[in-house]
C-alpha cells in the first residue's frame, strides 16, 4: 500500500484582534492508502482547522499537501474543484449539513449532477438507489425529507452523498459526536464497512478516545495547533511517550475501581502569538529549562513513532503526577 496523503509543514494562522492565532502550526504526517488516521486533542487544539486546511476549505498559510502524488496546494480553483471529488469531508452535525428543502434522494444526487453531468436520469436514479442501499436506507425513504429522519439516518444520507462520486479520501470531523450513543456504534460500523468495501482512506477526528481506538490504524495527538505525538494506535494507547498523551489516556473513563487520573496543572497557554518552547510546558509535570528555551520539534523516537518532547527519554518509565 502506497502513501495517499502527505502533509508537509502545514500552517494555518488566523489574524485576530490581539495578534496571530496559530491554529495549525507546522504539522507534518502521511497516511497510507486504506488506512485511518485518528486525530485527538482537546477542544480548540486545531483538529477541524487541520482537516479543512488539507482540503483547502481553509486556505493554508504555508506548507504543502500532496494527495496521490499531486501537490494540491499548487492547484488553481478549478483544479481544486475537480479534486474535491476525490477528497471529501463529513461534519459533525447531520442536521445542518442537509438542505431541509431537498428530499433525501435530491441531496444524494446533488454531487452526481455537479461531477457527472452526462449521467442520464435513469442511471442517476439507479445510482442513488444503490447508494441508499449501501448505507442502509430503505428505498421507501427516496422521497422523504430530512426532518422526517433521526440523527443516525440523516448521517447515513450525508455519508451516501459523500460517497456518491467515489472519493478516495474522507475527512470525518466528529461524525458521530452529535448522535445518540445507541446509534453511534451503528454509524461507526457502517463507516468501517464502507472503508473496506470502497478502499477508503480516512482522517477521523474525535475527542472520544474509545471511538478513535476502534477505528484508527495510526493516531495523531494535537496540542495547541501542533502534532505532539504520532504513532500506531498500539503505541499511542500502550506506550505513549508525550506527557500530554499520558494525560489524555489517563482521562479515559474506566470501570477499574480506584483508577487514578492525571490532573493537569497550570494554565492553557493561548495559541495567539505563542512564546517559543514546548506549548505544553506550562502544564507539564516534567518541565525543565530545556523545554522552554526553544521550540521542541517532533522527531522519530522509534520506528513509526514520533514525539515532540525534549525529555521523552528521561521520563520514560517515571511515574506521572496522579491524583485520585
Ligand X SMILES: Nc1ncnc2c1ncn2[C@@H]1O[C@H](COP(=O)(O)OP(=O)(O)OP(=O)(O)O)[C@@H](O)[C@H]1O
Pick 107 or 226: Cβ nearer Mg ion: 226
Task: For the CB of residue 16, give the shortest distance to ligand X in the complex, in Å.
Answer: 6
Task: For the CB of residue 24, give the shortest distance to ligand X in the complex, in Å.
Answer: 8
Sign of the CA dihedral running 262, 268, 274, 275: negative
Give burial (CB, 10 Å; 0-12/13-18/19+) of 184. Answer: buried
Task: For the CB of residue 322, give the shortest distance to ligand X in the complex, in Å.
Answer: 25
Partner that binds at residue 137, options ligand X, Mg ion, none, CB closer than 5 to 8 Å by kind: none
Q: Which of 4, 5, 10, 21 binds ligand X (CB under 6 A)?
A: 21
Q: If binding means CB under 5 A, how many residues of this protein chain bind Mg ion?
A: 1
Beta-ladder partners of 322: 262
Give burial (CB, 10 Å; 0-12/13-18/19+) of 309. Answer: buried
- What is the rounded distance in angstroms from the CA atom of residue 38 to the CA atom of residue 1? 18
Task: For the CB of residue 41, give the shortest distance to ligand X in the complex, in Å.
Answer: 6
What is the CB-side half-sphere exposure of residue 307 using CA atoms within 13 A?
Answer: 22
* Interface with ligand X in residues 174-233 (CB under 6 A): 207
Task: For the CB of residue 94, give the shortest distance to ligand X in the complex, in Å.
Answer: 16
Q: Are strands 261-262 and 322-323 parallel, antiparallel or unpaired?
A: antiparallel
Q: Which stretch in 13-21, 99-107, 277-285, 303-311 sits in contact with ligand X by CB under 6 A?
A: 13-21
* Interface with ligand X in residues 36-95 (CB under 6 A): 41, 43-49
Pick 95 or 142: Cβ nearer ligand X: 95
Q: Which of 38, 175, 243, 271 binds ligand X (CB under 6 A)?
A: 271
- What is the rounded distance in angstroms from the CA atom of residue 121 to the CA atom of residue 132? 16
- What is the rounded distance in angstroms from the CA atom of residue 20 to the CA atom of residue 97? 30
Q: What residue has cell string 505513549?
A: 240
Whether residue 110 contacts residue 195, with contact meaning beta carbons closer than 8 Å, is answered with no
- What is the rounded distance in angstroms from the CA atom of residue 244 to the CA atom of residue 250? 10
Q: If binding means CB under 6 A, how many residues of this protein chain bind ligand X?
A: 14
DSSP one-letter string for 80-96: HHHHTTTEEEE-S-TTT
Pick 16 or 139: Cβ nearer ligand X: 16
Whether residue 20 contacts residue 72, with contact meaning beta carbons closer than 8 Å, is answered with no
* Interface with Mg ion in residues 20-79 (CB under 5 A): 48
Pick 178 or 183: Cβ nearer Mg ion: 178
245 binds Mg ion (CB under 5 A): no
Partner that binds at residue 14, options ligand X, Mg ion, none, CB closer than 5 to 8 Å by kind: ligand X
3-state secondary structure of 321: coil
- What is the rounded distance in angstroms from the CA atom of residue 243 to the CA atom of residue 283? 10
Pick 53 or 137: Cβ nearer Mg ion: 53
Partner that binds at residue 242, options Mg ion, ligand X, none, CB closer than 5 to 8 Å by kind: none
Please give the biggest Cα pair distance in the chain. Answer: 69
Pick 48 or 73: Cβ nearer Mg ion: 48
Pick 45 or 132: Cβ nearer ligand X: 45
Task: For the CB of residue 122, give the shortest distance to ligand X in the complex, in Å.
Answer: 42
Binding site for Mg ion (CB under 5 A): 48
Binding site for ligand X (CB under 6 A): 14, 16, 21, 23, 41, 43-49, 207, 271
Amino acid at each position: 500500500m502506497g502513501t495517499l496523503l502527505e502533509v508537509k509543514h502545514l500552517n494555518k494562522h488566523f489574524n485576530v484582534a490581539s495578534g496571530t492565532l496559530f491554529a495549525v502550526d507546522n504539522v507534518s504526517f502521511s497516511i497510507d492508502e486504506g488506512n485511518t488516521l485518528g486525530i485527538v486533542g482537546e477542544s480548540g487544539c486545531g483538529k477541524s482547522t487541520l482537516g479543512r486546511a488539507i482540503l483547502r476549505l481553509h486556505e493554508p498559510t504555508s506548507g504543502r499537501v500532496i494527495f496521490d502524488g499531486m501537490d494540491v496546494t499548487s492547484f488553481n480553483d478549478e483544479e481544486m474543484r475537480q479534486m474535491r471529488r476525490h477528497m471529501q469531508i463529513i461534519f459533525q452535525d447531520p442536521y445542518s449539513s442537509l438542505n431541509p428543502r431537498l428530499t433525501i434522494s435530491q441531496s444524494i444526487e446533488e454531487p452526481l449532477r455537479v461531477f457527472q453531468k452526462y449521467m442520464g436520469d435513469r442511471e442517476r436514479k439507479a445510482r442513488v438507489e444503490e447508494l441508499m442501499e449501501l448505507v442502509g436506507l430503505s428505498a421507501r425513504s427516496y422521497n422523504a425529507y430530512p426532518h422526517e429522519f433521526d440523527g443516525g439516518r440523516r448521517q447515513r444520507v450525508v455519508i451516501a452523498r459523500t460517497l456518491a462520486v467515489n472519493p478516495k479520501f474522507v475527512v470525518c470531523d466528529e461524525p458521530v459526536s452529535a448522535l445518540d450513543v445507541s446509534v453511534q456504534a451503528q454509524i461507526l460500523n457502517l463507516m468501517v464497512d464502507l472503508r473496506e468495501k470502497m478502499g477508503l482512506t480516512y482522517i477521523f477526528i474525535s475527542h472520544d478516545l474509545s471511538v478513535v481506538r476502534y477505528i484508527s490504524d495510526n493516531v495523531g495527538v494535537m496540542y495547541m495547533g501542533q502534532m505532539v505525538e504520532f504513532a500506531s494506535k498500539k503505541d499511542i494507547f500502550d506506550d505513549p511517550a508525550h506527557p500530554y498523551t499520558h494525560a489524555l489516556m489517563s482521562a479515559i473513563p474506566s470501570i477499574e475501581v480506584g483508577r487514578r487520573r492525571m490532573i493537569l496543572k497550570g494554565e492553557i497557554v493561548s495559541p495567539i502569538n505563542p512564546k517559543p518552547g514546548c506549548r505544553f510546558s506550562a502544564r507539564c509535570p516534567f518541565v525543565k529549562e530545556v523545554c522552554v528555551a526553544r521550540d521542541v520539534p517532533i522527531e522519530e523516537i522509534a520506528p513509526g513513532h514520533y514525539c515532540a518532547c525534549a525529555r521523552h527519554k528521561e521520563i520514560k518509565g517515571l511515574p506521572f503526577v496522579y491524583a485520585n
